Amino acid sequence: MTGSAAPTIRAFEARLIRVPLTRPWAADVTSVGVIATHLVRSDGAEGWGFSWTPQIGAEAVLALLQHDLTPASLGRSAEPGVAWQGLWEHLHEAGGGGLTTIALAGLDLAVWDAAARAADLPVSGLIGRTRDAARVYGSGVNLHYPIDDLVAQVRRWVAAGFDAVKVKVGRPDIAEDLERLQAVRTELGPDRALMIDANQRWGLDRATAALEQLAAVEPAWIEEPLRADDLAGHAELARRLGGSSRIPIAVGENLHTRHRFAEYLHAGAAQIVQPNIVRVGGITPFHGIADLAVDHGAALHPHLLPELSGQLALTLPASLPDPWVEDVEDAGFGALGALRDPSPVLIRHALLTETDHAGLGLRFR
């Protein structure tokens, strides 16, 4: 007897959904764009995935999926990871990363979802779990919060049992950042971790001066201190921060390919990488980035989207430091009512575990 042919992609479709935020991230960021995808394999198995962008580019991602990825993907292998490189090369004319990889994630996630559903497994079970739970930290888009509102947010995180939180920095006056962080540190006490995120607001000299002062609150890391594409600047900042009391540099939410992560790690420009699974193109490249982190002795903490990132965190190589999963206040898909089914993850007492589900368990209303 001969084995059945490997499944191929028979049909693929995408639709755009706007999910309102209950706590806006800024005056002009009141919703996030989700491009929900659906795939049918030649053997009849179905998979669901998504692409995502908070405010800018959702319509462009949808167009790439509908007009470029759909015709290019039909008839290609539906085995996880097999078609990814060829499709990335197909889209490369429109850019090696960014909109193209965000779009490609919508297909890649659906491919993995279909394979796991066909095997009656969660995706983490198909890949292979290396841990049963992942640590979670409280996060928020809070640079615009008055200090009283910021402290109140931190109190909510402490009451919910979080052992670590992340706060935005980058106010016009470094002294104001320090005052806000000192108030946060007072609420947290000495034993909880405090991460800080500049969201690319500083130049090299400004970052150097700011971190000399902000070191007083003992940050666990500084995230995106400089423009995300400033590799040389990050390498120099890492040199300036060297020594036993160095603040680790975290980058990745705006790096879109495995190649960019490799450049940063090879240059010693970051000690922590934070790939966003959607922005890098899906599960297939995410695990390639994890291998890079292992090779360079870096930590990996996935960026945003805990319903997705949490599942993949459970499959990261055991040789990596235990990952942190980011939970932005009032921004989870389940909390926003965007999911058709119960959330595939449960966050309780600052730990994330999976609930009973097949595939990714992420189908949107």
166, 256, 287, 303: the catalytic one is: 303
> b/e map of 108-119 (b: 16 or more CB within 10 Å)?
bbbbbbbbbbbe
Does residue 303 carry a catalytic annotation? yes
Distance from chain centroid for Cα 177: 25
Strand 351-354 versus strand 134-139 pairing type: antiparallel
Measured CA to CA, the distance from residue 179 to residue 169 in angstroms comes to 11
Does residue 168 carry a catalytic annotation? yes
Sign (positive or negative) of CA dihedral 330, 332, 334, 336: positive
Measured CA to CA, the distance from residue 340 to residue 327 in angstroms comes to 20
Measured CA to CA, the distance from residue 328 to residue 135 in angstroms comes to 14
H/E stretch holding 91 reads helix 84-91
187 CB neighbour count, 10 Å cutoff: 17
Distance from chain centroid for Cα 362: 16
Token pair listed for 61: 């991602």
Token pair listed for 34: 């989700």
β partners of residue 53: 33
Q: Is 103 helix (H, G, I), strand (E, B) or coil?
A: helix
Q: Kindly give the interhelix angle for 258-266 and 231-240, rounded to the nearest 10 degrees.
A: 30
Measured CA to CA, the distance from residue 352 to residue 339 in angstroms comes to 18
H/E stretch holding 41 reads strand 31-41
H/E stretch holding 236 reads helix 231-240
What's the CA angle centered on 208, arms 204 and 210, to 5 degrees?
A: 115
Q: Is 256 helix (H, G, I), strand (E, B) or coil?
A: coil
38, 90, 166, 168: the catalytic one is: 168
Q: Is 121 exposed, middle or buried (CB count within 10 Å of its CB: 0-12, 13-18, 19+)? A: middle
Reported residue count of the chain is 365
Catalytic residue set: 168, 303
